[in-house]
Amino acid sequence: MTFSFLNKFTALAIGVQFIACLLVWIIAFAISPAGDRFFGVMFYFYLPPIYLVSTVLGLKGESGMIAGAIYGIAFGILLYGVIFGFVMSFFKGRS
């Protein structure tokens, strides 16, 4: 029984998250201020990676707030995709 971090489930999860984030950004800017709540939900979902990236890189100030969010969401997409791929590999290997 081997488990893989990088498999088709990882690629699928990363692709779905990327498309979802892109759609949320488009919707949030298109129907602003009504779409701002979707933007907030996205930030809450990716808050742990955003905080981790901001802390590790020591980001401060206004540019740090923007860079931390952008890099944190990108890191979160990859991180959550790899975790999802590993979990799916684990469950698929057990059956």
* Confidence at residue 3, expressed as pLDDT on a 0 to 100 scale: 62
Indicate whether 3 belongs to any domain. Answer: no
* Rounded (5°) CA angle 31-34-35: 65
Indicate whether 19 belongs to any domain. Answer: yes
Q: What is the pTM of this model?
A: 0.86
Q: Which domain holds residue 15?
A: 8-94
Per-residue pLDDT of the chain in tens (95 residues, 90 and over written 9) = 566 667 888 999 999 999 999 998 888 888 878 778 888 888 899 999 999 999 999 998 888 889 999 999 999 999 999 999 888 888 887 76
Indicate whether 2 belongs to any domain. Answer: no
- Cis amide bond preceding 49, omega within 30: no
CA distance 26 to 31: 9
Indicate whether 86 belongs to any domain. Answer: yes
Which amino acid, one-letter code, is at 50? I
* C-beta of residue 78 within 8 angstroms of C-beta of residue 6: no
Q: What is the pLDDT of residues 71-89, one digit of tens each?
A: 999 999 999 999 998 888 8
Indicate whether 56 belongs to any domain. Answer: yes
Indicate whether 50 belongs to any domain. Answer: yes
Indicate whether 64 belongs to any domain. Answer: yes
Indicate whether 85 belongs to any domain. Answer: yes
Please count the structural domains in the chain. Answer: 1
- Report DSSP state, residue 59: -
Q: Where are the beta strands (DSSP E) in the chain?
A: none
